Amino acid sequence: DVKVTQSSRYLVKRTGEKVFLECVQDMDHENMFWYRQDPGLGLRLIYFSYDVKMKEKGDIPEGYSVSREKKERFSLILESASTNQTSMYLCASSPSSGEDTGELFFGEGSRLTVL
């Protein structure tokens, strides 16, 4: 089974702190994604990566950056956390387009609270 592991299930940070959210997948997938989930808004794509050191902005990249130094690991960085970044963050991975149905495999989520 594909496993996508997010390092922290729950985090509480203060405004202005730097926050790292880590995600690791064990299925050698090329694509990795970071979404945030908010009630009534569904999932919104922050950034995705289709290869090591490659990244693409999603729909809401402002206030976030990402890092993909190794194929299995995709990190989401909040340089200076703000209260409006309080949310559930979901990491996902998938094989390359054309290899499969495009199914995304999700981690369990990291709930971030910024005070």
Partner 1 sequence: GEDVEQSLFLSVREGDSSVINCTYTDSSSTYLYWYKQEPGAGLQLLTYIFSNMDMKQDQRLTVLLNKKDKHLSLRIADTQTGDSAIYFCAAEGWTGANNLFFGTGTRLTVIP
- Interface contacts to partner 1, rule CB under 8 A: 4, 31, 35, 40-45, 48, 50, 58-59, 90, 92, 94, 96-98, 100-104, 106-109
**Closest approach of Cβ 16 to partner 1, in Å?**
29
CA 98, CA 28: separation in Å to the nearest integer? 15
Backbone angles phi, psi at 62, to 5 degrees: -60, 130
98: CB partners within 8 A, 6+ apart: none
17 vs 44, beta carbon nearer partner 1: 44
**Least distance from partner 1 to the Cβ atom of residue 15, Å:** 26
